[in-house]
């Protein structure tokens, strides 16, 4: 290794270690921090951000990047990722970065108040500022190209608005049709009945994480307001939450976060504390959480095992048998909220947001028209009207904190999960035998070997293509959904 490369890699390694520390501080804040410590914690986080920003804009980086001569594929990729990050940071004027940081630090509070008050107008001036500044950021990054495409690269390197629009155009009509058929079917699953104490949910959640191969020596599970996964490398923690009337919330959030954690825990240890030592993109990350949660966790085989475990834990569930339980787990209901949605409708929520945010950044949709556009699109795709802003345009935090370009990665993750599931089933024909015993590790090992261990060594789509042995398209996901829900609903 040349001296320059060594300097660069050591500097980057220390930066990544500090980023892990900042991430752990976020975990602490959401799980164990005393309630009176918020103000001081704000100063502590700001100090960490200031240190990280100084390192990411360190003037030595440009020189090191010029001179570094990587010899291995991994080193070459690590240097390329540092260069990409450095070039993007350099393109954003300091004034714009400061304005964005200042705005988004207050915008979330304004959004939360507006949502609580069901007052879209109170949020619009702030949303207008966010859109203007994020658009400006996109234009600075695009350097003459498309601003939305440029923003996407923060979340999904290689993706374009046009490419996603094509992909989503295939999904939308068939998902709308499937939704109508399912909700109109004469056969409808029964709801779950029973009492589900929080401590028993948590004990079962731990077993679910174990069933999916969660590595407890390098992680832990705690309760938080929102489920999340935090950390990379040797310390990857997950959180979940409990609602005593609704155990699936806790259990499937846990499997979902175990998917994210499994990815982080399985990346080759040689990549630890480098830019290769994490997921390839938000979309690829989401593909792992989704295939764990849905294609595996909500399968007939796995739910047949879960049915027994839940009866043993909670007593009578008010469903006739394992088949009925499978239908209940996969029940499609009429609802407004993306995060509470099911496999059939979830992507319709995402597609709506993708189209609106792309129009907002392009300047073809004014923020004053966004509520009407949202409600109109919702009525068309979901067949009923939004009743209040908190169930509509004010439901998600993303835009208020400047996350524009993030939403489509949710559906991209589902598309990738569909493709990976098709390849997995072909490679592991007896998977259901194991799932029916509460053991998903033959699947998670396959994903680990084919995809997770490579971290960010390859570009996102190439990562999925290499794992599947074919390029991902919408077809596997659509075929899976139509077959699965056709069977459950007797279509």
Tokens 């950390």, residue? 231
Q: Of 15-23, 308-316, 415-423, 462-470, which segment contacts a second copy by CB under 8 A?
A: 15-23
Out of 51, 62, 165, 397, the residue judged to bind a second copy by CB under 8 A: 51
Under DSSP, is residue 238 helix (H, G, I), strand (E, B) or coil?
strand
Helical pair 60-67 and 73-91, crossing angle rounded to 10 deg: 140
Site for a second copy in 236-275 (CB under 8 A): 237, 272-273
CB of 225 to a second copy, least distance (A): 17
Among 7, 58, 119, 234, binds a second copy (CB under 8 A): 234
- Does 58 bind a second copy (CB under 8 A)? Our answer is no
Order of strands across the sheet that contains 229-230: 221-223, 237-240, 229-230
Q: CB under 8 A: which stretch of 31-39, 138-146, 174-182, 462-470 binds a second copy?
A: 31-39
424 with 447: CB under 8 angstroms? yes
**Which of these ranges, 10-18, 162-170, 348-356, 475-483, lies near a second copy under the rule CB under 8 A?**
10-18
Q: Binding-site residue total for a second copy (CB under 8 A)? A: 37
Could you tell me which of 294, 399, 314, 316 has the C-alpha nearest to residue 352? Answer: 399
Separation of alpha carbons 79 and 82, rounded Å: 5
Active site includes 257?
yes
Residue 184 contacts residue 344 (beta carbons within 8 Å): no
Q: Does 14 bind a second copy (CB under 8 A)?
A: yes
**Taking CB under 8 A as the rule, does residue 217 contact a second copy?**
yes
At closest approach, how far in Å is the CB of 215 from a second copy?
A: 7
Closer of 242 and 265 to a second copy (Cβ): 265
Contact assessment for residue 346 and residue 359, using Cβ atoms and an 8 Å cutoff: no
**Options 219, 405, 408, 472; binder of a second copy; rule CB under 8 A:** 219
Given the structure tokens 């509509």, which residue do they identify? 392
C-beta of 34 vs 144, nearer to a second copy? 34
* Residue 40 interacts with a second copy (CB under 8 A): yes or no: yes
Closest contact distance (angstroms) between CB of 37 and a second copy is 4
Q: Could you give the angle at which helices 3-31 and 60-67 cross, rounded to 10 degrees?
A: 130
Active-site residue (options: 99, 118, 180, 257): 257
Contact with a second copy (CB under 8 A) among 86, 88, 218, 425: 218
Indicate which single residue of 1, 4, 24, 160 sits in contact with a second copy (rule: CB under 8 A): 24
CA dihedral 35, 40, 45, 48 (to 10 degrees): -140
Q: Which stretch binds a second copy (CB under 8 A): 24-32, 132-140, 293-301, 354-362?
A: 24-32
Interactions with a second copy, residue window 156-215 (CB under 8 A): 215
**CB atoms closer than 10 angstroms to residue 74:** 17
d(CA 263, CA 35): 32
Q: Is 119 in the site for a second copy (CB under 8 A)?
A: no
Q: Does 46 engage in binding with a second copy (CB under 8 A)?
A: yes
Which residues are paired to 240 by β-bridges?
Answer: 223
CA angle centred on 389, ends 335 and 228, rounded to 5°? 65
Query: If DSSP codes are grouped into helix, strand and coil, which group holds residue 229?
Result: strand
With CB under 8 A as the contact rule, which of the stretches 16-24, 169-177, 414-422, 439-447 interacts with a second copy? 16-24
Nearer to a second copy, 199 or 316 (CB): 199
Q: For a second copy, give the closer residue by CB, 217 or 225.
A: 217
Tell which one of 3, 6, 17, 184 touches a second copy (CB under 8 A). 17
Q: Which two tokens stand for residue 5?
A: 């490369």
**Residue pointed to by tokens 């996901």:** 477
Which CB atom, from 128 or from 215, has the smaller least distance to a second copy?
A: 215
Q: C-beta of 51: minimal distance to a second copy in Å?
A: 6
Question: Cβ 102 to a second copy, closest distance in Å?
Answer: 17
Q: Is 59 in the site for a second copy (CB under 8 A)?
A: no
Residue 198: CB minimum distance to a second copy, A = 17
Burial category of 36 from C-beta neighbours within 10 Å (exposed 0-12, middle 13-18, buried 19 and up): exposed
Interatomic CA distance for residues 451 and 271, integer angstroms: 14
Q: Is 98 in the site for a second copy (CB under 8 A)?
A: no
For 156, residues 6+ apart whose C-beta sits below 8 A from its C-beta are 281, 282, 283, 405, 408, 409, 412, 460
Q: Which residues are registered as beta bridge partners of 237?
A: 230
Region of 48-56, 404-412, 448-456, 462-470 interacting with a second copy (CB under 8 A): 48-56
Considering only CA atoms, which of 469, 473, 462, 457 is closest in space to residue 416?
Answer: 473
Placement of tokens 């990050």 in the chain? 85
CA-nearest of 474, 415, 421 to 444 is 421
Between 231 and 413, whose beta carbon lies closer to a second copy? 231
Q: Which positions are annotated as active-site residues?
A: 257
By the criterion CB under 8 A, which residues form the site for a second copy? Answer: 13-14, 17-18, 20-21, 24-25, 28, 32-37, 39-41, 43-44, 46-48, 50-51, 215-220, 233-235, 237, 272-273
């Amino acid at each position: 290794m040349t001296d320059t490369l060594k300097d660069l890699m050591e500097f980057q390694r220390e930066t990544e270690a500090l980023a892990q520390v900042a991430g752990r501080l976020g975990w602490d804040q959401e799980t164990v921090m005393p309630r009176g410590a918020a103000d001081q914690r704000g100063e502590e986080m700001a100090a960490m951000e200031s240190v990280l920003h100084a390192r990411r804009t360190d003037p030595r980086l440009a020189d090191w990047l010029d001179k570094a001569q990587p010899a291995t594929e991994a080193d070459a990729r690590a240097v390329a990722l540092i260069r990409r990050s450095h070039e993007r940071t350099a393109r954003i004027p300091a004034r714009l970065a400061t304005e964005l940081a200042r705005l988004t630090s207050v915008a979330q509070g304004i959004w939360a108040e507006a949502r609580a008050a069901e007052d879209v107008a109170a949020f619009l001036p702030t949303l207008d500022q966010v859109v203007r500044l994020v658009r400006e950021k996109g234009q600075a990054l695009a350097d003459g190209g498309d601003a939305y495409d440029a923003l996407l690269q923060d979340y999904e390197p290689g993706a374009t608005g046009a490419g996603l629009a094509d992909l989503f155009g295939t999904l939308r009509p068939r998902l709308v049709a499937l939704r109508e058929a399912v909700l109109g079917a004469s056969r409808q699953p029964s709801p779950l009945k029973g009492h589900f104490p929080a401590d028993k949910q948590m004990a079962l959640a731990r077993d679910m994480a174990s069933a999916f191969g969660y590595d407890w020596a390098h992680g832990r599970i705690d309760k938080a307001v929102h489920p999340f996964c935090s950390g990379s490398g040797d310390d990857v923690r997950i959180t979940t939450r409990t609602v005593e009337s609704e155990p699936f919330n806790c259990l499937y959030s846990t499997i979902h976060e175990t998917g994210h954690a499994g990815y982080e825990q399985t990346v080759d240890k040689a990549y630890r504390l480098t830019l290769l030592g994490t997921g390839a993109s938000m979309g690829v990350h989401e593909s792992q959480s989704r295939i764990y949660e849905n294609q595996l966790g909500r399968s007939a085989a796995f739910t047949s095992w879960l049915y027994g475990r839940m009866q043993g834990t909670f007593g009578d569930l008010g469903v006739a048998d394992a088949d009925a339980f499978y239908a209940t787990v996969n029940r499609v209901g009429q609802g407004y909220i993306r995060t509470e949605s099911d496999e059939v409708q979830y992507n319709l929520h995402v597609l709506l947001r993708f189209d609106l945010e792309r129009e907002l950044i392009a300047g073809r949709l004014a923020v004053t028209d966004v509520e009407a556009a949202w409600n109109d699109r919702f009525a068309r795709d979901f067949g009923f009207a939004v009743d209040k802003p908190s169930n509509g345009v004010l439901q998600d935090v993303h835009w208020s904190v400047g996350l524009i370009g993030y939403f489509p990665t949710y559906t991209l993750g589902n598309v990738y999960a569909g493709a990976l599931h098709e390849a997995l089933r072909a490679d592991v024909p007896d998977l259901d035998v194991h799932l029916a015993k509460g053991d998903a590790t033959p699947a998670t090992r396959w994903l680990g070997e084919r995809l997770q261990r490579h971290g960010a060594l390859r570009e996102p789509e190439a990562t999925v293509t290499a794992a599947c042995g074919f390029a991902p398209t919408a077809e596997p996901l659509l075929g899976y959904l139509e077959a699965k829900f056709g069977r459950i609903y007797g279509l």
